[in-house]
Chain A
Amino acid sequence: MKQLCSLALDTAQSRGASYADVRIIETRREGLETKNEGVASMRRTEDLGFGVRVIANGSWGFAASRDITREAIEQTAAQAVAIAQASARVKHKAIRLTPGPSYEDVWKTPVKRDPFEVPAEEKIGLLLRINEELMRVKGVKVAQGYMNFVREHQYFASTEGSFIEQDLTRSGVGYSATAVGNDDVQRRSYPASFRGLWMGKGYELIEELPLLEHAGQTAEEAVALLTADQCPSGKRDLILSGDQLALQIHESVGHPTELDRVLGTEANYAGTSFATTDKLGNLRYGSPMVTIVADSTLVGGLATVGYDDEGVKAQKWPLIERGMLVGYLTSRETADAIGEPRSRGAMRADGWARIPLIRMTNISLMPNEGTLDDLIADTDDGILVSTNRSWSIDQQRVNFQFGCEIGWEIKKGKKVRLLKNPTYQGITTEFWGSCDFICGANEFVLWGVANCGKGQPGQTAEMSHGAAPARFIDVNVGVGYDK
């Protein structure tokens, strides 16, 4: 592989590239899906290819191919240079990258049990047992179970001398029960919605979770929601469970602090950001209780790597510190653009065929103190919501709205009734500014987002968000159903 990488880099340089990097990636995937008493899908996928990224005449070019032959590598590297030269017809100034050390290293996701070595019968057997438990509850019409495993074996080399080999493993597991009533359908998912909980782990993720133990409760909640009251509309204190808070962090802190968005390069598609560079260090983003940290080194994180796709070593740094905006997710090019001495290492690509973009790494809300029970007991009149069902946010990441699978009304420190279709809407800085209670480390869980879309052509990335339940004051709830 090193020779093939060198061939790509040498070709690019001989054609006029001042910088080049190449990534050769082999990806294996396994997906299992069960529905009711049967297997809905069992599928393995393998994918191999390479992408060459160059700077020539001061502009970027990128070309990628699945054909890993010497001839195709030379042709693709030359095409990347030709594309960069075309880009240079429309440039303002030459691309500059922050300097940084080069590395020769090997990094692997720590894996206790290789998911690709676990027999299919074991995986399917567990999912079918869970479905059986879910279907045991009267009123459940559809039970679905999911397991997904991904392994990316990648080589990165650059003309600056790096040669990095990484072996990244991700696993996901989850299930849902759907109950059908008169003109209503309600679903409950465990451990999270959208195919469950994903982490940067091996099959041990599946073994560590109390999957079977939670099936009965999950199914019963789905059925109970059919006859539950509709979530009322109005202003209420709102408690978010950790899994919903994870998506709140993702949409209203993660995306707005991507420096490419901030600098305008996603303007036509994903949008820009209200958190512009003039606000760095002086924007009150949240209450003093809110500290949010980006961390590519976090054990078990979906975005945990040794190095990003520019060969920058994984790091941990704050984005929001005691409520103030203090950092961005950066690349070598964008870090240089705002005068930072080095990249934070947030560049990742969706496989070999796509160019690296700034993607969220693992971003977590730091825990404070207390349990969820303490938080409920401390709430006089509020609503607790859990498990995401719907999400939407404007293109500058200001006005957001979320819907959840389940809610509970809280009166005088106690859960008093179950609520269906809970929703809430807010304005990012007002919402985070109203945070007055964050539970402690014992309630902190690392949740995963396995389907984050960005870029043109579209790319999907995975990242984790750690959170403990938290409370927000005077939030609009019940939106969308209040007509």
Chain B
Amino acid sequence: MINKTEAQRILERVMALSAADETEATLAGRDSALTRFAENVIHQNVEEHDAGLTVRAILGQRIGAASTNRLDEEGIQRVVRDAAEIARFAPEDAELLPRSGPQSYQEGEAYDPETAPEAVGPASRADAVAEIIEEAKGSELKAAGAFSNEEESTATANSKGVFAYHRGTGADFSVTAMAQDSSGWADHEARSVAQIDPQRLGRIAIEKALASQNPRAVEPGAYTVVLEPAAVEGIVSWLPLGFNALEVDEGRSFLTGKIGTKIAGDNITLYSDPYHPLHQGAPFDGEGMPKKRLTLIERGVAKDLAYDRVTAKRKNVAPTGHSLGGRSANGAWPSHLVLEGGDASLEEMIRSTERGILVTRFWYENILDRMKLIVTGMTRDGLFWIEDGEVRYAIRNFRFNQSVPEFLNHVEMMSEPVLVAGMAAPAMKVEGFHFTSGTAF
């Protein structure tokens, strides 16, 4: 990680060295550590310290970009020189905009010193892992997983006076318990390692692995499903594909012509919100613009799109602070998703289900059709048959092919959201989910 003073010094040095008409730079730093275990032993244990400086030089209507991880004087000089040289080669870009002036950013605290790799070292991580492995052995299971912690910083500046800095920490504990013919999984990610209880996660994984032994084969088809938050993330996180204003404008989004129309059930409201307590992400984008909170879907109606500066100018609206940086051909991307949940518990969802399937998580989700927003993938690590309000037995895994908008029109119950894979996602009960084939386990 790079502290604010050092980030400011490096970025000021970039601006001082650059002879371009305008200059923009981003600087990222990351210190991370991860302990990985499988077959009841630690088999991989790593730590890395890296950084990246990207300089974009603008000469008239030409722009060039260069990046380096060398932050000494020679490295900075070279990356500034390279960016300018590339800009000289580049054809003119009629849509290239002048850099913006200083902006105001919403402050947020996302840094916990007790979570950085210096504070939680390999011995602490090994101790947490050892306890889980002992519990798994006690149940004649094998445990696998990863315990990671990191601190990172990001800063951006330009020659018109923009400077923004953000730092944060993160930790994640993920565990899979395995028996001969079954597995169970649990995961918790958080800004602070203190929020994570590895032993509780280990127990959940072990209980699921034991409960999912001797899985029975069930015919694929449309079923009522109760999805844990990780499974919901696996489906809903494909939605941002449609909320990119550039792709909507080009007719390449499933939302082209549908903004302001009903695309989901009344109970669905989805935000892009870096300021949400579960996220606390950087308050600026790759162009140094302040990130706005976007309401992507409000009570089922498609509402806001994500704009970078160029697309915003084309459409005569304000940029939303979701640029991917530079002169991207890919437009803007709504990050930090928050799906507003409900007040139901997972247990209530199960109790209310006459016949259905409880899904722990999905795996290898991929988009099958961007215009219909059909997603495919597999279930994994705990799939259970629900009958008369109770989990009855484990079943073999399925492949699904599911339209996301159709899915969002059949949500019956939701819980409070939790952070999973970078999204605030609730558990859900959904009618008519399409499982299309089975597998051998």
Supposing A39-B91, A399-B378 touch, asked if A394 and B47 sit within 8 A by C-beta, the answer is no
User: Do residues A457 and B148 form an inter-chain contact, with CB atoms below 8 A?
Assistant: yes
Supposing A46-B67, A395-B363 touch, asked if A90 and B32 sit within 8 A by C-beta, the answer is no
User: Do residues B38 and A267 form an inter-chain contact, with CB atoms below 8 A?
Assistant: yes
- The minimal Cβ–Cβ distance linking A79 to chain B, given in whole angstroms, is 6
The A-B contact count (CB < 8 A) is 260
User: Do residues A89 and B176 form an inter-chain contact, with CB atoms below 8 A?
Assistant: no
Asked if A264 is an interface residue, CB under 8 A from chain B, the answer is yes
- The minimal Cβ–Cβ distance linking B347 to chain A, given in whole angstroms, is 26
Asked if A354 is an interface residue, CB under 8 A from chain B, the answer is yes
User: Do residues A353 and B50 form an inter-chain contact, with CB atoms below 8 A?
Assistant: yes
Q: Which listed residue (B35, B66, B90, B125) contacts A39, Cβ 8 A? A: B90
Asked if A49 is an interface residue, CB under 8 A from chain B, the answer is yes
Asked if B309 is an interface residue, CB under 8 A from chain A, the answer is no
Stretch at the interface among B102-110, B163-171, B270-278, B326-334: B326-334
User: Do residues A425 and B436 form an inter-chain contact, with CB atoms below 8 A?
Assistant: yes
Which label, helix, strand, loop or mixed, suits the secondary structure of the B interface?
Answer: strand
User: Do residues B122 and A47 form an inter-chain contact, with CB atoms below 8 A?
Assistant: no
Asked if B37 is an interface residue, CB under 8 A from chain A, the answer is yes
User: Do residues A89 and B148 form an inter-chain contact, with CB atoms below 8 A?
Assistant: no
Q: Which listed residue (A41, A46, A86) contacts B327, Cβ 8 A? A: A41
Asked if A391 is an interface residue, CB under 8 A from chain B, the answer is yes
- The minimal Cβ–Cβ distance linking A284 to chain B, given in whole angstroms, is 15
User: Do residues B68 and A47 form an inter-chain contact, with CB atoms below 8 A?
Assistant: yes
What 1/0 mask marks residues of chain B from 42 to 73 whose CB sits below 8 Å from any chain A CB?
A: 11111111110000000000011111111000
Residues of A within 8 A of B196 (CB): none
Supposing A59-B42, A141-B251 touch, asked if A48 and B369 sit within 8 A by C-beta, the answer is no
User: Do residues A42 and B86 form an inter-chain contact, with CB atoms below 8 A?
Assistant: yes
A394's closest neighbor in chain B, by CB? B378
B88's closest neighbor in chain A, by CB? A120
User: Do residues A40 and B67 form an inter-chain contact, with CB atoms below 8 A?
Assistant: no
A79 to B38 CA separation, bound complex (whole angstroms): 22
User: Do residues A456 and B146 form an inter-chain contact, with CB atoms below 8 A?
Assistant: yes
Q: Which listed residue (B51, B66, B250, B371) contacts A45, Cβ 8 A? A: B66
A390 to B144 CA separation, bound complex (whole angstroms): 29
Residues of B within 8 A of A59 (CB): 42, 45
User: Do residues A66 and B122 form an inter-chain contact, with CB atoms below 8 A?
Assistant: no
Which interface class (under 10, 10 to 19, 20 to 34, 35 or more) fits A? 35 or more
User: Do residues B126 and A86 form an inter-chain contact, with CB atoms below 8 A?
Assistant: yes
Instruction: List residues 13-41 of chain B with CB under 8 A from any CB of chain A.
Output: 32, 34-41
Supposing A43-B66, A86-B125, A185-B251 touch, asked if A423 and B434 sit within 8 A by C-beta, the answer is no
User: Do residues A65 and B133 form an inter-chain contact, with CB atoms below 8 A?
Assistant: no
Asked if A19 is an interface residue, CB under 8 A from chain B, the answer is no
- The minimal Cβ–Cβ distance linking A28 to chain B, given in whole angstroms, is 10
User: Do residues B34 and A456 form an inter-chain contact, with CB atoms below 8 A?
Assistant: yes
A99 to B394 CA separation, bound complex (whole angstroms): 45
Q: Which of A's residues lie within 8 Å of B, judged by CB? A: 33, 35, 38-49, 51, 59-67, 79, 82-84, 86-87, 89-92, 119-121, 124, 128, 141-142, 144, 178, 180, 183-185, 263-269, 271, 274, 353-355, 390-396, 398-399, 401, 403, 421, 423, 425, 427, 456-457, 476, 479-481, 483
Q: Which of B's residues lie within 8 Å of A, judged by CB? A: 32, 34-51, 63-70, 78-79, 82, 86, 89-91, 93-95, 121-123, 125-127, 129-130, 133, 142, 144-146, 148, 174-176, 178, 183, 185, 250-252, 326-329, 363-371, 374, 376-378, 380, 397, 399, 401, 434, 436-441
The 6 closest A-B pairs by CB, nearest first: A40-B329, A86-B122, A480-B401, A399-B439, A120-B89, A267-B144
5 more A-B contacts (CB under 8 A) besides A42-B86, A44-B86?
A60-B45, A83-B122, A120-B89, A265-B39, A399-B399
